[in-house]
Chains A and B, each alone.
Chain A
């Protein structure tokens, strides 16, 4: 008999869940974040802390605002004219949306990797060197490119053809090239928006292994639709879901549960999280 109805019991002290490990160092602190597009809320009331040198996964059904929230973290929403961000978003304790903050500097420190690999129509070398060159670097580019490609676990596969066009790489290699391009400017945080959704299982496995290596040096926030990927790679998982207003005209994303990944996937605190991670609702 499976439980539609969870039994109402008082849990004895010895069965109380241990508190999840605390975030030792915060890279982001979100307080009441709301994002609006054209005056309509896309996400509301998001308050959470994101740990430094941890992998944090954002999961939830389509339209719940995961990508919107991710794009807040490096001010990518600034590029959308109708977008507004309300609330407080602190990056290492400083207001990310402060008047004196340079969005270009923000995006250097907080890089992003997108769903579909998007290398430039240039050589492998020039793709990786692009960022450092834009930042005015002229010396030591070879070392920087090699270091970034090694960091993205791609060096051995491309070291003999650095001048080849990046479009000649496989999808998985292109995505790792994009990660190399991202880390070539020595960011602090890497945001990943469904980075493996266009990749086969082998390429996905390589990116996931890479994420685990990269978190030694960077904080990573990943949006994924793949539950098992979130379970495999992340330290903490945030579950967002869509909420409707009384008239069911407007919908927005809301944070339902945010906890250690192990807890979310073995014993979630909220029935809605349980139903979503179990695949019982989409």
Chain B
């Protein structure tokens, strides 16, 4: 409970942070369902994920509007200003993560009712999903605790997701000459790519943690100039 002056403003800001980060829990649920849908080839569950994305979008719009109102009415500065700026970025990342789950669920029916599933590919994607879920949880905790080291550690965890994604790619290359199988593999690669992007979004949130704490924005890793 904030003390001192501007109590309403402080309470409102706390509430909005909790609400924005709560979006990560929604994404985590969406990802869990998405992985179940992939594992069981459950098209109906995939449709639930697609429909439920409106809730994530709604959270985005609601918190975004409230943050804009706070900017307009409270003239935040210093840490508060950095926090609001970071939350606007975090919201966008969350909204994109939700969309990536939708992307996986949308391509699932394309693999047909009796998909020629290669269990190795499905297993790799499920591993990616599980690892990405830990990234989402860690990004949330790092933000809540303003822990830059924990945020930086997201890069290490994301490297695991990236490596699994590469394995999916190599598997797709050697999956065989059958046209249906190749088509299935290509579709699954789209799913793997979407999950890999969710991991990247979690790292983006980590970068915002560092911004809130230090006041400087730096990418943890520069994708265009890897070093």
Contacts and interface: CB of A to CB of B under 8 A. Distances in A.
B145 interface: yes
B78 A15 contact: no
B216 interface: yes
Contacts of A231: 77
Contacts of A18: 216
Contact of B5 (A2, A267, A281): A281
Interface stretch (B9-17, B53-61, B119-127, B154-162): B9-17
A277 B18 contact: no
Interface stretch (A3-11, A68-76, A103-111, A117-125): A3-11
A282 B216 contact: no
Interface stretch (B23-31, B36-44, B103-111, B207-215): B207-215
Contact of A227 (B14, B75, B147): B75
Contact of B79 (A9, A14, A227, A278): A278
Contact of B78 (A1, A16, A274, A281): A274
A258 to B, nearest CB: 16
A161 to B, nearest CB: 38
A55 B2 CA distance: 35
B14 A1 contact: yes
B149 interface: yes
B10 A7 contact: no
B146 interface: yes
B218 A278 contact: no
B183 interface: no
Nearest to A14: B218
B145 A265 contact: no
A9 B147 contact: yes
Interface of B: 2, 4-6, 9-10, 13-14, 17-18, 75-83, 144-149, 152, 210, 213-216, 218
